[in-house]
Structure 1
């Protein structure tokens, strides 16, 4: 029976959400400090299941895993896996389905939490502190600026319109036709969107045209009463510039679910700044999504063992 390692199972739920009886499966809740530690732990495994982009798979790691034959990622895209290196080492890489709804829902949890001051107000309630200390932002009539109007951004837009917000969008590739189809007013430029939005929310993939999309100069364009929400990728925003903007109060606050280093180190400013509402990368972490991830991971394994892999992202020319 083949051995299977399930990585980054933070909640320890993977084995209970699917039938892994076709393999000898073991899950790891901990993060490994180095490629060497990871390779030593899973070096005997022919199959590995990776959760999103929590653990990178560079060429060096494939070199240290000669037994590996099948790598499965949750979702159908994983920028942390070197697909060319996988194929070169004879490893088949498969994906799973994934819903865009959970990150859209979390985006709204962060927006609402920021707009109504839930962080300071609930902290005061728990500590017998002052009764009412913030004045909330009215979402009705406010401007919601979306940097990215794809699968997730368009869902966020629909909720914004339901709240009565004026939804404006921009991305490097957003056309007037696509904006209209999503019910979004197309901003003439990124800068124009930042100047007028009361809430700016990011929903883009990281690439040459989007990495560092918001730096100090862009953040300075935002209103001092505006909020920034990022449930997409931390690399879209210059993290040092964001910390400085929050410390200086040039923006009102930030809702963050993604970080350059995860888990976020103890004492990091995003853990302590009073205007930051932060969650530990929960965007896709829902029961429905996990059932899809692990259920389809098992289906990927079954198909691979039967010699007919499905949802293949990369692989050798000759499959088992």
Structure 2
């Protein structure tokens, strides 16, 4: 009898064509789910599965869910870190959790798309052109000669810094554990404090991991410290920025605008006020959504299943 596998949250319907699933077809029956499941419906929809493949944090796996999936033996997540999977609970329930490689370049590229879109008012100008509206209605913000403030100088932050320097920007960075020597080696100034970075930057981009030290890191006091001509971009995790404070900042003009690719509830509810907030450029969590990333995710998911079936699990998280 074949094992049952489900690929969750395949929103674009591309997973089946991006890997060679025939490699496991003799022993595993795989189905692809294209709609987001309500948390209460996950166990009912895939309770018969021995293997599940999760896309990033689209479907959380808390301890309570593992208790409702007694058949599950292997959970594969894209990427080698997934804060929405309770790995300890998985282990207690006899579930092996494996990950895949994930490229850091796509999120940095998308962050620059947001920065450029905000700076040059790309969406309003495009919409005006399509509607035969005003010709040249905005005055763009220059990148060259302005300051890019990076909250976080990890893999993605470093890529952001290199591009900022190529644009001729003055790049500064801050995090609670930033090494000034590392920053200097990249041509980046280490800000003395978070407050200094916010007060002196024209563009602030968030590249931090969500945790106890970073949750709510940017709230009303921090947003009020920013220049009224400055822009904030968040492609990391929504909870790093207080969402209600961000709404007030946009509505009351504390900052010039904001861009985001991450939200506390995803997909973003239809009535979420961010959808209509002024000077807000939002994208539906596309940072990691590129062909190269997806090909790697699903190809390595198949490899992980093969390794598990051979009794030698690979890329195990825990």
Instruction: Point out where structure 2 has 5 or more consecutive residues left out of the alignment.
Output: none
Looking at structure 1, the residues matched to 48 and 245 of structure 2 have their Cα atoms a distance apart, in angstroms, of 43
Q: Does structure 1 conserve the Cα–Cα contact (< 8 Å) formed by 2:63 and 2:90? A: yes
Q: Does structure 1 conserve the Cα–Cα contact (< 8 Å) formed by 2:164 and 2:170? A: yes
Instruction: Point out where structure 1 has 5 or more consecutive residues left out of the alignment.
Output: 315-320
Q: Deviations along 1:229-288, whole A, 9 cap, x unmatched?
A: 001000100000000100001100011100000000113222112301110000000000
Query: Which residue of the other structure, out of 1, 12, 33, is the alignment partner of 2:38?
Result: 33
> 1:317 matched to which residue of 2?
none
> Which aligned segments of 4 or more residues in structure 1 are displaced greater than 2 angstroms?
none
Shift of 1:116: 0.3
Q: Does structure 2 conserve the Cα–Cα contact (< 8 Å) formed by 1:149 and 1:182? A: no
Is residue 135 of structure 2 the alignment partner of residue 131 of structure 1?
yes
Q: Matches of residues 297-308 of structure 1 in structure 2 within 5 Å? A: 297-308=301-312
> 2:17 matched to which residue of 1?
16
Looking at structure 2, the residues matched to 42 and 232 of structure 1 have their Cα atoms a distance apart, in angstroms, of 29
> 1:157 matched to which residue of 2?
161
Kindly report the root-mean-square deviation, in angstroms, between the aligned alpha carbons of the 2 structures.
0.8
TM-score (norm 1): 0.96
Query: Which residue of the other structure, out of 94, 97, 103, is the alignment partner of 1:99?
Result: 103
Q: Does structure 2 conserve the Cα–Cα contact (< 8 Å) formed by 1:147 and 1:200? A: yes
Moved more, 96-105 or 262-271: 262-271
Looking at structure 2, the residues matched to 6 and 88 of structure 1 have their Cα atoms a distance apart, in angstroms, of 23
TM-score (norm 2): 0.97
Looking at structure 2, the residues matched to 183 and 43 of structure 1 have their Cα atoms a distance apart, in angstroms, of 52
Shift of 1:179: 1.1
Q: Does structure 2 conserve the Cα–Cα contact (< 8 Å) formed by 1:149 and 1:203? A: yes
Looking at structure 2, the residues matched to 297 and 276 of structure 1 have their Cα atoms a distance apart, in angstroms, of 36
Looking at structure 2, the residues matched to 169 and 34 of structure 1 have their Cα atoms a distance apart, in angstroms, of 38
Looking at structure 1, the residues matched to 228 and 187 of structure 2 have their Cα atoms a distance apart, in angstroms, of 27
Moved more, 289-298 or 17-26: 17-26
Shift of 1:113: 0.4
Query: Which residue of the other structure, out of 162, 176, 186, is the alignment partner of 2:180?
Result: 176
